[in-house]
Amino acid sequence: MSNQLVLFTVIVITLFAVLLAIFLYLVVRKRKDGKWKREVETYKQLYEPVLFRYLAYGDEQVPAPSSSAQHVAMMELLDHFMRVLANGDVKERATALAEMYFVDYLRAQLVHRRLGRRMNALFFIEDFYLRSLVHELEAMYEQKQLTTMEKRQLLKMFALFQHPHVYEYMKQTDESFTQFDYRLILSRMDDRMFAKMVDHFFDWNEKIQYALIDMIGIMQKFAHVSFLRTLLRHEQSEYRIRALKALAEIAFPLDSEQLRIHLHSPVWQERLMALRLCARTRPYELVETMKELVKDRVFSVRSQAAEALLRMPNGLAILEQIAQTSDDRYARDMALEWLERGREND
């Protein structure tokens, strides 16, 4: 046999051997892991009644966990109870317990070399509101090799802890942050902090601005309605569209002359959002305009107009009339569809 062939044979066999070795390692690990999981389960059963009494009534001493299986068992249980028993007292007691027993464990996890572990620690700190680890979080945020995933999570937590540096941090965020991220960050701020964000609205980048407008609507922040109304006069249509959408979420009754301007906008998304607001606030003076919009050239505007009409006090009658007498076939179809939907709900 030629030398090359021998060499190649050796390579293939070596690779086989390597795979086999990894396989054996993984099988052994799987067995160990199974054992460890059973151990955790046993501890969970052991801790469950104690932990429950502590969280629900606060009249029990919880023994300190010593092994890692005990740590994990107790953390999983706490997490579970937090979800099912979520009220103020339970949360406070859970936080107190976590502060007492898990801070060191979590501190070690925060610098674990595996991203998954570090993230889990961050989630836990957030869920249990462990403010005592704020310094570690700050240090973590300053690290160069931080992944985007961690960065997003950390900023959310700074917002939740109403950290004074949040504004600076948010100014430094890069392109990888999306509107969705900003929404989640904003959703965690208290009213004071949020108001400060709104005050400096035009200093922020576009994504933060849009997220701010959306969050005013989603979180029903009535205090900022007047700000939304100033945006309605802005020349950039995206601001107007989003402001209308937020007002629709809040169901704020805009005066009909103002609303009429938006219903006649050349931008169809603006007409759509104005109609959505009509559906929520039922401005009877605008029925004729809405009837016109059932004939709009954009499908979703037609559909939204029909829905807005349906919400009027005599909505069914109006739609009935359109369905029978309109000169526009699409308008008639749309009226019929919403008539049926309206009757279903009766």
Residue ranges that bind another protein, judged by CB under 8 A: 1-2, 5, 8-9, 12, 15-16, 19, 22-23, 26-27, 30-31, 34, 114-117, 119-120, 123, 127, 178-181, 183-184, 207, 218, 299, 303, 330, 333-334, 336-337, 340
Quick one: 12 or 64, whose CB is closer to another protein?
A: 12
Q: Which two tokens stand for residue 49?
A: 């009644």
Alpha-carbon distance of 217 to 223, in angstroms, equals: 11
Q: How far is the CB of 267 from another protein (least distance, A)?
A: 17
* Number of neighbouring beta carbons within 10 Å of residue 86: 10
Q: How far is the CB of 16 from another protein (least distance, A)?
A: 7
Quick one: 186 or 259, whose CB is closer to another protein?
A: 186
Alpha-carbon distance of 111 to 121, in angstroms, equals: 10
Q: How far is the CB of 127 from another protein (least distance, A)?
A: 8
- Helices and strands counted in the chain (H then E): 19, 0
**Nearest 5°: phi and psi at 76?**
-65, -40
Distance of CA 48 to the CA centre of its chain: 31
Quick one: 138 or 337, whose CB is closer to another protein?
A: 337
Q: How far is the CB of 63 from another protein (least distance, A)?
A: 25
Confirm if 110 and 118 have CB atoms less than 8 A apart. yes
Q: How far is the CB of 59 from another protein (least distance, A)?
A: 31
Quick one: 54 or 158, whose CB is closer to another protein?
A: 158
DSSP 220: T
Q: Which two tokens stand for residue 251?
A: 């169901």
Quick one: 84 or 168, whose CB is closer to another protein?
A: 84
